[in-house]
Amino acid sequence: MLDSPVVPATAEGDTPSPAAASANPVAAPPAGAPRRSIAVISHPDAGKSTLTEALALHARAITQAGAVHGKGNRAGVVSDWLEMEQKRGISITSAALQFEVDGVVINLLDTPGHADFSEDTYRVLTAVDAAVMLLDAAKGLEPQTLKLFAVCRRRGIPVITFVNKWDRPGREALELVDELENRIQLRATPVTWPVGDAGDLQGLLDVRHPDDVMAYRRAPGGATLAEEERLTVEQARERWPDRLDHAADSMGLLPELDMPSFLAGETTPLLFGAALTNIGVRQLLEVVTTLAPPPGPREDVRGTPRPVEAPFSGVVFKMQAGMDPNHRDHVAFLRVNSGVFRRGGVYTHAQTGRPFATKYAASVFGRERETIEEAYPGDVVGLVNATSLSVGDTLHDPDGPAVEFPPLPVFAPEHFLAARVADPGRSKQFRKGVAQLEQEGVVQVLISEARGDGQPILAAVGPLQFEVASFRMENEFRAPIRTEPLGYSVARLASDRDAELLAGVSGVELAHRTDGVRLALFRDVWRLRGLQRDRPELELAPLLADAAD
């Protein structure tokens, strides 16, 4: 029952190998080394940031794993570096960590789990080639996990599944497997399998090493690597006679790993462990380096695939300010899609046709960064002080074929409030801060035709975005704001004809985004439907809805 196939190498000719004993974060990655670009996704509180920290620890990219709340003499996690993240204990913005493991460069993106920040998460998913879907052993598939998986499926992103918190009471392993297949039609193919029920984790079986069983001794507090003990099958059976046979029999009921079906999104490599105590994480890191696909062609706005061998091109998928507390810098996160990015190169900004100089370019590790000279497809480059760029912009080599990649999604906001500066003497800082928050995608900014630009409307997918905006306006821009909740929950695109028909109608407000698009805001969907019934000539096209809908 313990005989299982060995996990194959990926396409691209990479040789499977265990996680390296050394890694070098925030340093120039080796030229031509294989790349893997991975996002960690899950429902809130499933352990994404903790897992990201544990992966970095196992890659020797950090020497001690932090805790999400920074308790018990442990530092905070490297991916949650914003002050508000550290205070609230949740991920508010995505974070990038680049490190090398055994000759493979990993670009790992930790994402916010809360639905209020889903727009940031979905943008990150445009910049990766695979995802690690994290499941809570006690909760299984949760609402946000289902949405994120649907996005991965629609975008053709293969998913590796890691069942976390197996050191705590939870559900049966086969029950979780059945849920994956019944609810999202995803067949699990085990790579590791737990010896012992949830809350009673004794060790792990590994299909790649059928003659061995791994036992663990937890590190105090989980800040360092758990101690591993490799047992033979005979030794493991003596130690856990019933548990080992039960685990082997359960694992034997499931199909073997199949690369084509994994890459097609039909199956998922399945692993078990506990990120907080660093159990099972090494095996996950090995799977990322050996099974996750390398960067491939990306479709441009015309639907034509751009080969990775083509001249340089890349897309900005995230903007972030305040990474350096000593300087008010502004970093654009760019995913390299093709060719070789070279620092100092002057590239074409596809949206404007203007040249863009790349004097300041860095690899990123949480808040830390280091200047790089070159980057390759799959890499994430931090372009410092790139104030002329916005989320979704394309850069490309001016000497190669021009290319523009599809714009990133802008979701339909459902929450709105009017904002004004608390101190009129800080109006300049207020305008600058609001503009920067919009450029980063923290909130959408609308200028009401009735209120004017002195009282912009902040629009968001979820109300926590307003907390972030208010916190940053006060602490980063020193321009505290006063807000007035607006009783709208629906936005629609409004044509000139729509604006004429809606002028003066109660319960409706017209506003423009900074890109010139006019929106009509409605109290609720029933008010919208009533107006459409009374005025059938209204067009009112919907905005892009939730990407999983």
* Consecutive H or E run containing 445: strand 444-448
Question: Dihedral, CA atoms, 243, 244, 246, 249, nearest 10 degrees?
Answer: 170
Give the gyration radius of the chain's Cα atoms.
Answer: 25
110 is in an annotated binding site: yes
Q: How many CB atoms lie within 10 A of CB 231?
A: 18
- At which residue do the structure tokens 């890499």 appear? 379
- In this structure, the number of other CB atoms found within 10 A of the CB of residue 88 comes to 18
Separation in Å, CA 173 to CA 138, 266, 271, 384: 10, 19, 10, 46
512 marked ligand binding residue? no
Spell out the SS3 assignment of 81-115. Answer: CCHHHHHHCCCCCCEEEEEEECCEEEEEEECCCCH
**358 appears as a binding residue in the annotation:** no
State how far the Cα of 341 lies from the Cα of 326, in Å rounded to an integer: 28
311, with CB counted inside 10 A (0-12, 13-18, 19+), is middle
DSSP letter for 453, please.
Answer: T
Is residue 114 annotated as involved in ligand binding? yes
* 485 annotated to a ligand binding site: no
Contacts with 48 (C-beta within 8 Å, 6 or more apart), sequence order: 40, 41, 42, 91, 110, 111, 113, 134
Cα(450)–Cα(432) distance, rounded to whole angstroms?
Answer: 22
Q: Which residues contact 31 (CB under 8 A, 6 or more apart)?
A: 374, 376
Annotated binding site: 110-114
Annotated binding site for GTP: 110-114
